Structure 1
């Protein structure tokens, strides 16, 4: 069985180099609604039986470009929110600091982040527990940080594939594994 993971296309949402916490929060809201910059995704001739996609517009737009069938939209695939790690009124920090420190705050379980590491892991596993494992080739289109964490859970379930350190937009990552349902013990009839 094969699972393909694709991060949405690059989002066209420029940002200032320096921002306050409120400016970073406002930019994050704009990012959620911004258009994507489409590009050709190399699918290596793969035929996908089913496609799951995050319910956010940037992921849906991408999925429509790489898959021609019915899309199974699921909010469990949404990106992990990245909130400002501290509140600043007048102090501006570089955009990269806001972004990286928000992810570090998530990793170190800071209350500044809307979702915990454990919450993200549970959300990924809730999705994996409910998908249609009867399909041989499953495509999932969603978000960078979510994809990074998703690959770890796939590997725990016995899938093999490239270890991704930096998730690129509009790139297919493939994982191969045994169908988890093929190991299920059939119920005995009485």
Structure 2
């Protein structure tokens, strides 16, 4: 059995170098609605039996480019929200700090984040418990931070594959189980 994990194409949503927490949140909302920059994805000639995809537009657009069958759209595959780790209109920080600190706040279970680590893992396992395991080649198109967390749950279920630390847009990662 093979599972292919694919992060959506790069999103065309530039950001300011320095921003307040409010500006970071506004940028996040724009990102959700922005178009993607399509590129060629190496699918290694695999005939995918089924494709599951996040319900967010950037993932659906990507899935339609790489898979020609019916898409199984599932909101459990949505990205983990990355909220500002502090709220202050006086503090301006680099975009990267907002992004990284939001993910660290999630990891360290800060109340600033809308979803907990346990909530994310529960969502991933809910999805894995309900997919069609009778299919030999399963493609999942979704988001970077979800993919990063998803691979851990696949390993727990006996899958092997590359341990991805930096998830790239439009790159297929494969996991196998005998």
- TM-score w.r.t. the length of structure 1 is 0.93
User: Residue 45 of structure 1 aligns with which residue?
Assistant: 45
Distance 1:151 1:177 in 2: 13
Question: Hey, what's the Cα distance between the residues in 2 that align with 1:23 and 1:89?
Answer: 9
Number of the residue aligned with 1:19: 19
Q: Show the counterpart of 1:158.
A: 158
Partner of 2:173: 173
Are residue 94 (structure 1) and residue 94 (structure 2) matched?
yes
2:6 aligned partner: 6
Deviations 1:40-87 (A, max 9, x none): 000000100000000000000000000000000000000000000001
Find the counterpart in structure 2 of residue 188 from structure 1: none
Q: Give the C-alpha shift of residue 120 in structure 1.
A: 0.2
* Structure 1 runs, 4 residues or longer, greater than 3 Å off: none
Give the alignment of 1:11-90 within 5 angstroms: 11-90=11-90
For the aligned residue pairs, the C-alpha RMSD in angstroms reads 0.4
Which runs of no fewer than 5 residues in structure 1 stay unpaired? Answer: 179-190
Distance in 1 between residues matched to 2:148 and 2:35, nearest whole Å: 22
- CA deviation digits over 1:78-128, x for unaligned, max 9? 000000000111210000000000000000000000000000000000000
Q: 1:118-169 CA deviation, whole Å, 9 max, x = no partner?
A: 0000000000000000111000000000000000000000000000000000
SS of structure 1 residue aligned to 2:102: helix
Equivalent residue number for residue 182 of structure 1: none
The structure with more radius of gyration: 1
TM-score in terms of structure 2 length: 0.99
